[in-house]
Amino acid sequence: MQLTSYEDLRVQKTISAIQTAFSQMLFEMEYSKMTVKELCQRAKINKKTFYHYYENLDDLLAEYQSAYAAQFLSKIADYTFPDDIEKFIRAFFEFSAEQDKTYERITIAGAYQSIRQDMIDMVTSSTYKQSDFVKKLPLFYQEAFLKFWNITVLELYRQWVESKESISLEEIISLTTQLVCNGLSKFVMK
């Protein structure tokens, strides 16, 4: 349930407790192992209260995914793909670096592949797939282009995080931009 600030304080506290417990659980365990019972214990609410706001954990997860996607989409709303590739890459890395450890885990952990893919699909369908450039490509090329884009950027982010950010944010943005735009040709000795 997205809060509008018009709810009474008890509702705000309850939703906040549910979201905090959910975020902690996503960070600590695989989504498939999560239960409403444990979430309610952590949020210090009863199951009836949970079900008053959400039908199930999937609804809460969908809200969580939508919130991340909406925040990112607001950062890239004025960009045109592929003209603003560097801006898209910069926005992704800067946005990702600002997020909490739960976002990081969802974005890089193998157990969260389906959750991550849902978030990627939300962003892709609202942005990159709407690009005139992409729409003009044959369907196979569209899919190949977008898969290359998503996998490359996400994999470089994963590698950067797993290396404990051993290079600076500026360096990973530059490297990612070079690889996406030029492939290996810039790095291969001739």
Which pLDDT tens digit goes with each residue over 90-112? 999 999 999 988 888 888 888 88
pLDDT at residue 165, rounded to an integer? 87
pLDDT tens, residue by residue, 114-133:
888 888 998 999 898 899 99
User: Is residue 108 within 8 Å of residue 162, measured between CB atoms?
Assistant: yes
CATH 1.10.10.60 segments of the chain = 9-54
pLDDT tens, residue by residue, 148-157:
999 999 999 9
CATH 1.10.357 segments of the chain = 60-182
pLDDT at residue 18, rounded to an integer? 96
Confidence of residue 184 (pLDDT cuts 50, 70, 90): confident
pLDDT at residue 183, rounded to an integer? 86
pLDDT at residue 92, rounded to an integer? 96
Nearest to 56 by CA among 88, 78, 76, 34: 34
Q: In the chain, what percentage of residues exceed pLDDT 70?
A: 95
pLDDT tens, residue by residue, 76-93:
999 998 999 999 999 999
pLDDT at residue 105, rounded to an integer? 86
Confidence of residue 5 (pLDDT cuts 50, 70, 90): low
Candidates 3.30.200.20, 1.10.260.40, 1.10.10.60, 3.40.50.410; CATH matching 9-54: 1.10.10.60
How far CA 117 is from CA of 35, 69, 113, 147, in Å, comes to 22, 11, 6, 11
Candidates 1.10.357, 1.25.40, 1.20.80, 1.10.10; CATH matching 60-182: 1.10.357
3-state secondary structure the chain: CCCCCCCCHHHHHHHHHHHHHHHHHHHHCCHHHCCHHHHHHHHCCCHHHHHHHCCCHHHHHHHHHHHHHHHHHHHHCCCCCCCCHHHHHHHHHHHHHHCCHHHHHHHHCHHHHHHHHHHHHHHHHHCHHHCHHHHCCCHHHHHHHHHHHHHHHHHHHHHHHHCCCCCCHHHHHHHHHHHHHHCCCCCCCC
pLDDT at residue 7, rounded to an integer? 63
* Res. 17: pLDDT tops 60: yes
Q: In the chain, what percentage of residues exceed pLDDT 90?
A: 65
